[in-house]
Amino acid sequence: MSPSNSAKQKKPRKPKVQSLLEVVRTERLTPHMVRLVLGGKQFDSIEFKGGTDQYIKLLFADPALGLRRPYDMEALRELLPAQQMPVRRTYTIRHIDWKNKHIWVDFVIHGDEGVAGPWAAQAQPGDLISFFGPGSGYTPRPEADFHLIAGDEAALPAVAAALEGMDRNARGVAVLEVRDSSEEVPLSAPEGIDVRWLHRGGDFTPETTRLAEHLQAVDIPDGDVQVFIHGEREQMKRIRKMLVKERGLERKGMSLSAYWAYGRIEDQFQAEKKTPQGKIDPDG
């Protein structure tokens, strides 16, 4: 093979590093949100990123298989059918406690629904969890003239981290939709950020949600506007259309995506991401 052809070959992918931590303590933040504080010897080897939205991909396997963490994913692919492989669930790191070498991860709990939520609800100190990452895709820009931030319960940890990471002179609006006042959590935001809580009065449905409607009425000034909005898929489609087509904001640079989809279990939601139905942008 000539040197030129060899140079064209793709470099082998860097193997993903799986970190292993244990539950140090748990804290019930609201009726439907629990915080897990994670720590352990591998904390020092984790390659943390610089953004406020640092996300990790937690791994969960069927307990009946008796697998031990960390999972040897390559070996398991040779042994298990695809439907029995450990599944991944993405969560934002709410806070990094550098002094104690802990990370905080907040979980929305809906009874026995899902995989990660029920695990977090029952987690006890000493329980192990393994994950890939973190990755990072967003951090507030100090030079932005205005920040438009919004989300539902699933986005609340990322929004809280973003507000804490903002320049003290930042200006903007942060809109959080939750079930009721009992689901609100303390937020630390610059004085120039108008924090607004929306209450649905019950579980999320297309009829009870108020997020898109409220954002349509938000006064967005001219200038450099940075957008961070995450939540239910159909609402994100609606908000994207409103901001880009109706309000004239640039789609490029927006952090706007779906964390979940109403009426879909997590595996269905993930599978649909590659289909037209699962895309936020119709031409993306």
Q: What is the pLDDT of residue 142?
A: 96
Q: What is the pLDDT of residue 7?
A: 46
- 118 with 193: CB under 8 angstroms? no
Burial 5-28 (b: 16+ CB within 10 A, else e): eeeeeeeeeeeeebbbbbbbebee
Domain ranges of the chain: 18-135, 146-273
CATH class for domain 146-273? alpha beta
Q: Could you tell me the two tokens for 57?
A: 């991909």
In the beta sheet, which residues pair with residue 88?
A: 59
Tell me the CA distances in angstroms from 17 to 62, 178, 194, one per residue in order: 21, 35, 39
Residue 144: strand, helix, or coil: coil
Determine if the pTM surpasses 0.75.
Answer: yes
Tell me the pLDDT of the chain (284 aa) as tens digits. 444 454 455 566 666 889 999 999 999 999 999 999 999 999 999 999 888 999 999 999 999 999 999 999 999 999 999 999 999 999 999 999 999 999 999 999 988 888 999 999 999 999 999 999 999 989 999 999 999 999 999 999 999 999 999 999 999 999 999 999 999 999 999 999 999 999 999 999 999 999 999 999 999 999 999 999 999 999 999 999 999 999 999 999 899 999 999 988 777 887 888 888 888 887 65
As a 3-state breakdown, the chain gives helix, strand, coil percent values, each rounded to 5, of: 25, 30, 40
Q: What is the pLDDT of residue 110?
A: 87
- Beta-carbon count within 10 A of 111 CB: 9
Instruction: Tell which CATH architecture fits domain 18-135.
Output: Beta Barrel (2.40)
CA distance 127 to 122: 10
Q: What is the pLDDT of residue 267?
A: 77
Residue 206: strand, helix, or coil: coil
Q: What is the pLDDT of residue 51?
A: 85
Q: H helices then E strands: how many in the chain? A: 7, 11
User: Judging by beta carbons within 10 Å of its beta carbon (0-12, 13-18, 19+), is residue 125 exposed, middle or buried?
Assistant: exposed
Q: What is the pLDDT of residue 1?
A: 46
